[in-house]
A and B are shown apart, each in its own frame.
Chain A
Amino acid sequence: MPIYTKGLSTHTRGWSDLDLDFTAHPVTKDIVRKTNVEAVKRAVRNLIRTNKYEKPFHPEIDGGVTRHLFGLSTPYMKHDIELAVRNCLKNFESRVIVDDVRVSGDLNANGFNVSIFFTVINSPEPIEVRLFLERIR
């Protein structure tokens, strides 16, 4: 489980993260930061796309969706993916409150469109993150 070194303060703590694209700032040449809601949206995307055993020594940190992408589509699959996304965010992303997760199959593209609606704990505005999940290997 996560090891938190700081308490989650809803009013005083802003979010700032490294951009894994490692884009350089045009002026300072430092690495660009992702801040606040953008940082959280990036974290949500990363988490959902994490596979079991990707995190060293922590197989429990798992987006839970990959295993659903390798079988034949069934009527229950959309529900399973929705449940996996909700569980993942509930367990490993304490900054978000999930309002809704919508999953729709895209038969032509062999994948699923996933829309996650949530609010960040220190921001009242609703956020939507859209992902397209497909088997890539």
Chain B
Amino acid sequence: MASNKIQITDLEFDAIKANLKDYLSAQTQFQDYDFEGSGMDVLMDVLAYNTHYMGYYANMVANEMFLDTASLRESVVSHVKHLNVIPNSVTAPKALLNMTFTPAGSPLTLTIAKDTKFTTNINAVPYTFTTTATTTVTPVAGVYSVTNLPIKEGKILNKRYDVDLADTTQRFIIPNINIDTSTISVQIQNSSSDSTVVTWADGNSLDVTTITSNQKVYFLQEVEEGKYEIIFGDGSVGKQLADGNIIFIEYLITKGVAANKASTFTAVGSVAGLTSANYTLTTASAASGGAENESINSLKNNAPKLYQAQKRATTKDDYKAILLAERNDIESLTVYGGEDASPAVYGKVYIAIKPTGNTVYSEATKDAIKTAILKKSNVVTVIPELVDPIYYYLLIDTVVNYDPVTLLTNEQTLKSAISTSINDYFTSDLQKFDQKFRYSTLTKKIDNTNSSVRNSKTSIKYQMKITPATLATTSTYTLEFNASLTKGSITSTAFGTSDGYTYTLVDDSAGIVKLARSTYTTTAVTVDSPVVYMILADGSENQGTVDYTTGKIVLNNFNPYSISDSTTSIKFTVTPGTNNQDITPLREQILTTNTTDTAAIVVTMVAETII
């Protein structure tokens, strides 16, 4: 409808132009605004494009003004700075080495210099690890050895700045990205004529209210392009720089997560002045802890929580926010109160963490988390307990019916694509805490792999492992599968017992678990026929009980003497009940797949034929 008022609420180009046309239709001077070739149309294009451009620009500016809608990293980092959050930097993987030296003569000590390099390869890609501190080796009973020598992946670099107070725009930016900020060292030399050098401390790790006017501290902040800037005190909070001071910044740049799991190292050149003929080198702990810098999504999610927590761990979310802020090698974590544990334990809070690129933390790391992070922030009467995640391994067996006529590739390629779909489902929907297995979601992904897939029939089993601390010792185990189970579906890998025979665990469909004598080969475990059950010390065959409704299996006085497949754990496999194909992990439980098990994902292809 003709109008002499311009609508100003539209932002789309076409809508703006239509509004202009509507406005122009109310006048008679220029009638050709409707036609693409007209001069009026060119003019309206310019006007509408300019309006659209400004609208878009204003929209983007408005978006960047708020943490929820900002999309540029610089904007997000700036917003979280107001919440007292410093984004985690990329973290260098750390490995531990054991070395024993045989020097000529008997020197008092040996010195492993800082920046002694070691190389390793992962998938034919070389990585260099380096020592980040000098280590002195003192002989004990004539043996020169060092254990748990830490090395980090990356390269140590240096940057020098001469302080010029006359230059009011001078900034101290470290000209590299991928810096592990935990390795930054800042030293200040008084002047070019006074070579006194003092190491200044990281002010971000201190309580700002305790920093005095003369305290030698620096503050680190992320700035544009993912670089870091070092800021010094103003003489009120922290000591101020003087004209002519020389700043030496040392830091490590790293490739982060890529070098995790590196386990075989070779020294580059000599170590402590000795060649490889004069020392032995073993890996005490493979590289771990490497992580990417904190993502925009992580910052958006965690910064408000961390602000809410105020560095005090009182609620579950407080624990999560503090741990995620302090450590960037956490892939997933869950926190629950002892009252929700099974059985309930009051006065404790349980924290389960799945580290990036690994399944569990070492005991040393768990202790460090408890003492260095949680003890400082949690309520004094509450005891934090770090527990390992419990992994359930899903076994997927699917029969896929496909149409060979519409199949554009070959059967093997389709089979491989279906395996990829299943693995993608694990990556995107499982393998973290509180992520449920949904049967229909998986089957949908299988069916949607390719248009030539006509239907699929998928059966699900899942496994749990127990790892006896000591073999040939009686112990009681409780396995909680948290779902209804199919009667008679329980099986296990083979193990030896006190009578010298090999057994596997089975249930009698009536709630009793027994040990059935079996024959083990590397490919299968077969229950002997006729079935012979092990007679236990009390004269019964009853090894334990199974509750088919809750999925709880209790093994009383279970006493394996050996494990047939030469691993350290026995796997128990069950089939979910027919009415419940979904699986819900609780508390510290995680659903995943065993990538080394060829039976974990089995795809059988059947070409559709019309009879």
Residues of A within 8 A of B (CB): 2-6, 13-20, 33-34, 39, 42-47, 50, 55-57, 61, 92-95
Verify A20–B45 contact, CB threshold 8 A. Answer: no
- CB neighbours (8 Å) of A33 from chain B are 29-30
Q: Which residues of B contact A56 (CB under 8 A)?
A: 13, 45, 48-49, 52
**Interchain residue pairs with CB less than 8 A apart (29):** A2-B34, A2-B36, A3-B17, A3-B34, A5-B2, A5-B22, A5-B25, A6-B25, A13-B31, A14-B31, A15-B32, A16-B32, A18-B39, A18-B40, A39-B32, A39-B38, A43-B38, A43-B39, A45-B37, A46-B38, A46-B42, A50-B36, A50-B37, A55-B45, A56-B13, A57-B13, A92-B35, A94-B35, A95-B35
Are A43 and B37 within 8 A (Cβ)?
yes
Q: Does B14 sit at the interface, judged by CB under 8 A?
A: yes
For A2, the chain B residues whose CB sits under 8 A away are: 34-36
Cα separation A20 to B25 with both chains bound (whole Å): 20
Q: Is the interface of B mostly helix, strand, loop or mixed?
A: helix
B152 beta carbon closer than 8 Å to chain A? no
Q: B21 near A: Cβ within 8 Å?
A: yes
Interchain residue pairs A-B with the least CB separation, the first 8: A43-B37, A47-B37, A18-B39, A17-B32, A20-B39, A46-B37, A92-B36, A56-B49
B21 touches A3 (CB 8 A): yes
Residues of A within 8 A of B32 (CB): 15-18, 39, 43
**B43 near A18: Cβ-Cβ < 8 Å:** yes
Instruction: Encode contact with A along B6-18: 1 for CB under 8 Å, 0 otherwise.
Output: 0000000110011
Residue in B closest to A3 when the chains form the complex, CB atoms: B18
Besides the known contacts A20-B39, A93-B35, 10 further A-B residue pairs in the complex with CB atoms under 8 A apart? A2-B34, A14-B31, A17-B38, A43-B36, A44-B37, A46-B38, A46-B42, A55-B36, A56-B45, A56-B48
Across the interface, A47 reaches (CB within 8 A) one of B13, B36, B40, namely B36
In the complex, are the beta carbons of A19 and B36 less than 8 A apart? Answer: no
Q: Which of B2, B14, B22, B31 contacts A15 (CB 8 A)?
A: B31
Q: What's the nearest-Cβ distance from chain A to residue B45, in Å?
A: 6
Measured CB to CB, the nearest residue on chain B to A8 is B34
CB distance from B37 to the nearest CB of A (A): 3
CB distance from B154 to the nearest CB of A (A): 46
Which residues of chain A are within 8 angstroms of B18 by Cβ–Cβ distance?
Answer: 3, 5
> Once the chains are docked, how many angstroms separate the CA of A44 from the CA of B35?
10
| Contact A5/B34 with A16-B29, A55-B45, A56-B13 known, Cβ cut-off 8 Å | yes
Binding site for A on B (CB under 8 A): 2, 13-14, 17-18, 21-22, 25, 28-40, 42-43, 45, 48-49, 52
Give bound CA distance, A19 to B37, whole Å.
Answer: 12
Task: Chain A residues near B49: list those with CB within 8 A.
Answer: 56
List chain B residues, Cβ under 8 A from A55.
Answer: 36, 45
Q: Collect the chain A residues with CB atoms within 8 Å of residue B13's CB.
A: 56-57
- Residues from chain B with a CB closer than 8 A to the CB of A57 are 13-14
Closest to A16 in B: B31
B25 near A93 with CB under 8 A, answer no
Residues of A within 8 A of B35 (CB): 2, 43, 92-95
Question: Once bound together, how far apart are the Cα atoms of A13 and B33, in whole Å?
Answer: 13
CB of A18 within 8 A of CB of B38, answer: yes
| Cα A5 to Cα B43 with chains together (Å) | 17
Collect the chain A residues with CB atoms within 8 Å of residue B37's CB: 42-47, 50, 92-93
Checking A5, A17, A50, A95 against B30 with a beta-carbon cut-off of 8 angstroms, the contacting residue is A17
Q: Which residue of B lies closest to A13 (CB)?
A: B31
A17, A43, A44: residue with the most chain B Cβ atoms closer than 10 Å: A17
Contacts of B39 in A (CB 8 A): 17-20, 34, 42-43, 46
A109 to B106, CA, bound (A): 95
* Smallest beta-carbon distance B567→chain A, Å: 62
For the complex, what is the distance from the CA of A16 to the CA of B35, rounded to whole Å? 11
Q: Which residue of B lies closest to A63 (CB)?
A: B37
- B22 cross-chain contacts in A, Cβ below 8 A: 5
Could you tell me the distance in whole angstroms from the C-beta of A64 to the nearest C-beta in chain B? 13
**How near does chain B come to A114, taking the closest CB pair, in angstroms?**
15
Q: Are A4 and B14 in contact (CB under 8 A)?
A: no
Distance in Å from the Cβ of B177 to the closest Cβ of chain A?
A: 36
Query: Are the CB atoms of B21 and A5 closer together than 8 Å?
Result: yes
Chain A proximity of B216: nearest CB distance (Å)? 58
Most buried by A among B21, B25, B36, B42: B36
| A4 touching B36 in the complex, CB below 8 Å, given contacts A33-B29, A55-B45 | no
List residues of chain A with CB within 8 A of the CB of B30: 16-18, 33
Closest A residue to B15 using CB positions: A3
Q: Which residues of A contact B14 (CB under 8 A)?
A: 3, 57
Q: How far is the CA of A33 from the CA of B17 in the complex (A)?
A: 21
Q: For residue A30, which residue of chain B has the nearest CB?
A: B29
Task: Tell me the bound Cα distance from A43 to B36 in angstroms.
Answer: 8
Question: B50: nearest residue on chain A (CB-CB)?
Answer: A56
How many Å lie between the Cα of A70 and that of B49 in the bound state? 30
Measured between beta carbons, the chain A residues less than 8 angstroms from B45 are 55-56
Tell me the bound Cα distance from A34 to B183 in angstroms: 73
A13, A44, A55: residue with the most chain B Cβ atoms closer than 10 Å: A55
A14 neighbours in B (Cβ, 8 Å): 31
Assembly CA distance A46 to B30 (angstroms): 17
- Identify the interface centre among B2, B13, B39: most chain A CB within 10 Å of its CB: B39
Complex-state Cα separation, A56 to B25, whole angstroms = 22
Report the minimum CB–CB distance from A39 to chain B (whole Å).
Answer: 6
Assembled-state Cα–Cα distance A18/B38 (Å): 8
Report B14 CB to chain A, min CB distance, Å.
Answer: 7
Q: Which residues of A contact B2 (CB under 8 A)?
A: 5
| A27 CA to B13 CA, complexed, in Å | 37
Q: Please measure, in the bound complex, the distance between the C-alpha atom of A56 and the C-alpha atom of B31, giving whole angstroms.
A: 22
Closest residue of B by beta carbon distance from A45: B37
B57 to chain A, nearest CB (A): 15
Q: Which residues of B contact A95 (CB under 8 A)?
A: 35
